[in-house]
Structure 1
Amino acid sequence: MIKKNLLALLVISLLSTGLFAQHNVSLNIDGVTSEKGNICFAVYNNEGSFLKFDEVYKSGSEKAVKGKTAFDIKDLPEGEYAIAIFHDANGNKNLDTNMLGIPKEQIAFSKGKMKMFGPPKYKECAFTVNSHMEMNIRLN
């Protein structure tokens, strides 16, 4: 009986210290050029997986709202993340690119910006989640 009480006390104390804390990141996406399609997002939690479609930590989409689209990414544990976003205006669930691989649709990142010869690195986009937070991102 004492062991069960100690175990319950341990679990309660771990929960109260935030070990299992889950946080929301509220995104405000500015510069949405139309209400066609969706704003798609991909969350990455390490440098090795960044911008690899098969290694996304969490993803989703929200209906595009012209001007500004707002939504929450829910249930992120404390840690470091980077977010990639694009406006899937034609609704095909893919980032459309030209023959050179340059995006035809609007894109953005949590912090970094597109460069002349490619996307930013993970570290340029990374941010730390340790509480609920709000982020403003502008599509290009």
Structure 2
Amino acid sequence: MFKKAFFTVLLLCTVALSAQHNLQVKVTGIPKSEGHIRVALYTSADGFLKFEQVYRAGSAKTSKGTTQIVFKDLPQGTYAIALYHDENSNSELDKNWLGIPKEKVAFSKAKMRAFGPPPFKDCAFKLQEDMLIEIPISKS
């Protein structure tokens, strides 16, 4: 009985561990090396673009042209990315008095719309294996 339970637990752990994947986010079109690229990973439409609902966050010192950030050990699922170029490294998305971002922003699979950011469904992608996603940063 103990052997059977042990092997069942071992099998479940092996399956759970094998379902973890790496997501490499490659941000392109960065005009200058100042600041950081800040990336937020979301898992639901309800929490999309809400600070307290970020599933995982990452950042990297900006390199002109391309900057990469890797999220490790993610379970399979549906995700969406929102990111910005924090040019002054104040860890905030600077906005004008109308609430329009002053710093460059980008999303997975979608672009900023005329009257606000795209919805989760337009940015969503399925992670089923290790993946590289390339996101060009918007020009403002």
TM-score (norm 1): 0.93
Out of 74, 77, 87, the position equivalent to 1:76 is 74
**Contiguous gaps of at least 5 residues in structure 1:** none
Unpaired segments of 5 or more residues in structure 2? none
Question: What is the root-mean-square deviation in Å for CA atoms of aligned residues?
Answer: 1.4
Deviation of 1:130 after TM superposition, in Å, equals: 1.2
Please tell me whether the aligned partners of residues 14 and 20 of structure 1 are also in contact (alpha carbons under 8 angstroms): no
Aligned match of 2:10:
12
Q: What is residue 34 of structure 2 aligned with on the other side?
A: 36
Structure 1 match to 2:50: 52
Larger CA deviation: 5-14 vs 50-59: 5-14
Q: CA deviation at 1:18?
A: 4.4
CA contact (8 A) 2:42 2:54 kept: yes
Query: Partners in 1 of 2:14 and 2:75 — Cα distance?
Result: 14
State the percentage of identical aligned residues.
Answer: 45
Q: Give the aligned length.
A: 138
* CA–CA separation in structure 2 for the residues paired with 1:19 and 1:71: 22
The residue aligned with 1:96 is: 94
Aligned to 1:126: 124
Give the CA deviation at 1:41: 0.4
1:45-87 Cα distance to aligned partner (Å, 9 max, x none): 1010000011111112111000011121112111111010100
Q: Deviation above 6 Å: which 4+ runs of structure 1?
A: none
Q: Distance in 2 between matches of 1:54 and 1:27?
A: 21
